[in-house]
Amino acid sequence: MKRLAILGSTGSIGQSALAVVDAHADRLRVAALAAGDNAALLAAQVARYCPEIVAMATADGADRLKAACGSQTVNVVSGPEGLIAVATHLAVDIVICASSGTAGLEAVLAAIEHGKTVALANKEVLVMAGELVTGAARRHGVSILPVDSEHNAIHQCLHGRDRAEIKRLILTASGGPFREFSADALDSVDAAAALQHPTWRMGRKITIDSATLMNKGLEVIEAHWLFGVTADQIDVVIHPQSIVHSLVELIDGSIIAQLGIADMRLPIQYACSYPERWDARTLPTLDLLRAGRLDFHAPARDRFPCLDLAYRALRTGGTLPVVLNAANEVAVEHFLDGKLGFTAIPRVIEETMNAHHVENVTTLDVVRRVDQWSQECARHTAQALELNA
C-alpha cells in the first residue's frame, strides 16, 4: 500500500489524483490532503478518504473546514506550516504536489528532506528553485517523478537510459486556441476565448499559459532541471492533436515517443505506480485508427513571444526564471480580470525581465525576495499598459 499526500486536492490535478486512488483502492491510500480555499469540497474529500491530516491555506479556511466536517474528528492545520506538516507527515510515502503557483515550494523541499517521493505537477517549483530542489533531491536520494504530461512522457521514453545517449528532448504543445490567429486577431482576444482549450481540461492560469505558449516555455525550464539537459537540447513542436505527449531523440537518430489519451489520470497513475505499471482499468485507451493523423509544426515564435522569453530566462539562469514566472503570474491575473490585452502579457514579462539585475539562486530567501520584487515591478508595468488607460 502506498500512502499519498495530495497538495492541492480540490484542484483539477488533485481531483484526478483522487480518481486514480478510487481506481486503485487496493494499492493507494490517502494519508493527507491540502487545499487552498475550497472548504466544502475538502470536507467532502475528508469524509470519503479519512486522511490523518488536512490543511487549508488560511486559519479562516481551517475554521470553515472544521465546521463543514461536522462531527468527524480531523486533524486540521493551516498556513505554510500546515502545508509542510501535510507534506512531511509520518504516514506519507508519496507527495503529489499540485498546489497552484508558488505556494508548494517550501513544502516540496521539506518533503524531500523527509525522504518522501515527490510526484510533481506544479512546474513553478522547478522554474523558481530548480537548482535548490534537484540538489536537495540528490542529497537525500529522493526521486522527483514528473506528473506534467510532457515530462512524464519523457520520463517514460528515457526509462533506464544513460544521459549521454540523449541528443535532444522534443516537447509537444497543442498550440492552444489561438494557434492559427494572426497577430492582429491576437490583439483583441479576451479571457473567455483563451479559456477554451482545444484538447486539455485544466485550471484557469495554466489554460491561459497554454494560449500564450508560456506553459511550454515553463516546461522547457522544467525539463532542463528534471533531465539535466541544456536549453539547446530542448525543442518544442506544435502537435494539435495532443496524442504524442513528447519525444526523445537519441544520439543514433532514433526518436522514442510516448502516445496516449489526453487525460491527467494517466501520468498521475504512472507516478504512483513507478517503477511498476498498473492496469489502467477505468481509463479509456488510445484508438490510433480513430485518431487518424498526427500533425507537427514549428511554433510561431513571433506571434507567441513568451516561448523565447522562457528560453532567454533559462539560458541566462540565476534569478531570471523567477522573474519570468512572477511577471507572468501577474500579467495573466490582469488578463483574466479583463484589465490587460492578450498581446500585452509578453510585454509585461519582457519589461520586468529587462529591469532585473540577475543574481545566483543560493537560498529560498533569494527566490522569495526576487519573486516579490518581480510581482511589484510587473504590476506597475501592467498598469501602464492597461486597456483604456
CA-wise closest residue to 66 among 76, 81, 78? 76
Q: Which residue is nearest to Mg ion (CB)?
A: 148
Site for Mg ion in 320-359 (CB under 5 A): none
User: Binder to Mg ion among 33, 64, 102, 148 (CB under 5 A)?
Assistant: 148
Nearer to Mg ion, 49 or 270 (CB): 270
Residue 14 C-beta: closest distance to Mg ion, Å: 16
The C-alpha atoms of residue 49 and residue 99 are separated, in whole angstroms, by 19
CB-count exposure of residue 347 (10 Å: 0-12, 13-18, 19+): middle
Range in contact with Mg ion (rule: CB under 5 A) among 13-21, 110-118, 144-152, 299-307: 144-152
Residue 348 C-beta: closest distance to Mg ion, Å: 23
Range in contact with Mg ion (rule: CB under 5 A) among 83-91, 145-153, 270-278, 293-301: 145-153
Nearer to Mg ion, 44 or 195 (CB): 195
Residue 151 C-beta: closest distance to Mg ion, Å: 7
Residue 323 C-beta: closest distance to Mg ion, Å: 22
Cell 513568451 locates to 306
The C-alpha atoms of residue 277 and residue 174 are separated, in whole angstroms, by 27
Nearer to Mg ion, 148 or 350 (CB): 148
Nearer to Mg ion, 117 or 149 (CB): 149
Q: Please state whether beta strands 28-35 and 53-56 pair in parallel, antiparallel, or not at all (unpaired).
A: parallel
Instruction: State the number of binding residues for Mg ion (CB under 5 A).
Output: 3
Range in contact with Mg ion (rule: CB under 5 A) among 141-149, 258-266, 281-289, 349-357: 141-149
Nearer to Mg ion, 106 or 150 (CB): 150
Residue 258 C-beta: closest distance to Mg ion, Å: 13
The C-alpha atoms of residue 229 and residue 263 are separated, in whole angstroms, by 27
The C-alpha atoms of residue 353 and residue 125 are separated, in whole angstroms, by 19
Alpha helices for 274-343 (secondary structure H): 288-291, 306-316, 320-336
Nearer to Mg ion, 176 or 305 (CB): 176
E runs forming strands in the chain:
2-7, 28-35, 53-56, 76-78, 94-97, 117-120, 144-146, 166-173, 234-238, 244-250, 255-259
Binding site for Mg ion (CB under 5 A): 148-150
